[in-house]
Homo-oligomer: A and B are copies of this chain.
């Protein structure tokens, strides 16, 4: 087991990466002290596979524990789901109190929803994350972002609420659909490009073992990615500066993901395409060596992630980027790599550069 400390002053916590950690939730809370009860919040899919393991470990640690679930799917990351969850949580016996702990079990959606519930229940109680997807392991589980969607946009309602701990159980990835595994791998490539060239070496070397979900390679990958994200988040908890570099690939990527329609393209696949487009602009500006851009494309392809996509409409994507919640006064923010391990934030891309980046993706 590896432990990565997340340094956030009074809100510091540890991320643990290992095998079988879903059965260690009870002992983990036992170490905390002053825990009166626990409520596991999960979606219907994940609960069916792993809830019993987690509940069993809580009860073995003599903690009263309840389970509350909601239907799986991004479309349920909504205020009405929270309303149902509050009802179910307040009906638990013994009643939750300020010493209770929420256990967020599942991928990005259960993590975001359960975290938001914890942030707002009794004006904020502790929560522990037990992510079960690679994307949640390396991204959502670090940083304290919780929230739900609104018809006006994703994650528009939420809170920054740091977990009391994160237990990443590599074994849970064995039940993950392959495209979801690849989606997480794309975010790992992103971390490598923005902060750590040696991580790209590792991903290249271990590509097969990673696609095969081998525990040792996967544990190492997750730990290294958590360290990168932790360093960025520690330096900028509330996303006022440095944390923006995590959006590399995301400006183009969000637009591509949204245009594809929910469920037709994974988040990671869209971000991978977004990185390719951003790299193209960076190469055209003379900021990035073409050989580095080529190497990134090769890694993505090796991980079975798309590097081209037919049918993208430039005007539609440009319009979507203009209306992204991170766009201010018509100036769209982009992250452009200037080498492996380093990116630059810009908001001066011309319409022609944006068009060129997208067109590049559609070239066969």
Contact = CB atoms under 8 A, between A and B. Distances in A.
A145 B120 CA distance: 11
Contacts of A80: 83
Contacts of A328: 97
Interface string A115-150: 010011111100000000000000000000111001
Interface in A231-261: none
A79 interface: yes
Interface string A84-110: 001100110001010000000000000
B156 A159 contact: no
Given A150-B86, A150-B90, A328-B97, A156 B79 contact: no
A121 B157 contact: yes
27 contacts: A79-B79, A79-B83, A80-B83, A86-B150, A86-B156, A87-B150, A87-B151, A90-B151, A90-B153, A90-B156, A97-B325, A97-B328, A119-B159, A120-B157, A120-B158, A120-B159, A121-B156, A122-B156, A123-B146, A123-B147, A123-B155, A123-B158, A123-B159, A123-B160, A124-B159, A124-B160, A159-B159
Interface size class of A (residues with CB under 8 A): 20 to 34
Interface of A: 79-80, 82-83, 86-87, 90-91, 95, 97, 116, 119-124, 145-147, 150-153, 155-160, 325, 328
A91 B123 CA distance: 27
A133 to B, nearest CB: 22
Contacts of A147: 123
A325 B122 contact: yes
A80 B82 CA distance: 11
The residue in A123, A156, A159 that gathers the most chain B C-beta atoms within 10 A of its C-beta is: A123
A127 to B, nearest CB: 14
